[in-house]
Structure 1
Amino acid sequence: MTELHTPRLRLRPARQGDLAALHAVLSDARAMRCWSTPPHDNLEITQAWLRGMISAPPETSHDFIVEHQGQVIGKAGFYQLPEIGFILHPDYWGRGLAREALEAVIASAFANYPIPKIIADVDPRNTGSLAVLARLGFTETGRAEKTFLLGDIWCDSVYLALERPLTSSSPSGLGGEAR
């Protein structure tokens, strides 16, 4: 897998040394409020999650660790194409970093895979993620109630899609540079 670079970010494949930094994200209740699992309460859970990210087959996965100023701050990409997912540590929210990372991974996915569209499944309470995806051109395709159980709470889903652009540039024209 290639690395992607944006003005402020380095997106790279996951490696075992990312465990502590990813655990800081995946154990944070604020970050995990609308994720598909509860916060990770021990390193073993994060280790299994990281092992899955590292071993995911490249023909169906295009997932990246997100670094900002040399610090691992989250992940963005496709654990299972064509569904996009992203999570950043809350200390980095509100700076446009999620959008910057997603622009790069979306452009890379369309350039490297014959997918007609990218999809997303978002908890409707996650207004920040919904806003980021809307700014990237995603449109709502449907909604469903009680689609997954998070701890003991049923969560709903908003389904979104982004069609492959007619040109090879990213949705905003600001894709990351592959290296």
Structure 2
Amino acid sequence: MNSYLESSIKQFEYYKILGDKTFDQLTFEELQNEFTKDSNSIAIIVKHIVGNMLSRWTNFLTEDGEKEWRMRDEEFIDSFHSKEELINAWNEGWDCLFTAIRPLKNEDLERIIYIRNQGHTVVEAINRQMMHYAYHVGQIVFLGKLTKGKNWQSLSIPRGKSKDYNQEKFAKDKGKRHFTEDL
């Protein structure tokens, strides 16, 4: 199960990197852009992810993941005043997550934690949150790509470059490694 924890941490790091690389390509105004009325801008999605992370991962093993102090509805109102503030909030959420998950041991994985009074094993809780963040980071990347259009710098294998990418990968010796190690 050590590989589960290590892999989970690497996956979370990967999703953070995707967000970071998207933010690098966008201005603050682009991060705040709502494509249609009542749609979520990247800034709003970030605010929601951060609120979720702080609630879920603060005192992860000992308190319900839906904290009384969380104001979820307010997460959908953009209140960032700068790109720096948005990125600081993003990093605060991820720091909370990594502070909670990095010290976990194999024996913690079957412990029961609660989210809104629903019991989850630690594995189930990690999986739930990873999928939630992947969903929203995918939205962030997609909105970034829509915003930049042809000026978007691909975060994966660029169109028309699959053959080159595969050639590079198959030139390496076979071995067990996480796909993020080559990023």
Specify which structure has the higher proportion of strand. 1
Q: TM-score normalised to the size of structure 2? A: 0.26
Q: Which has the higher contact order (CA 8 A, sep 6+)?
A: 2
TM-score by length of 1: 0.27
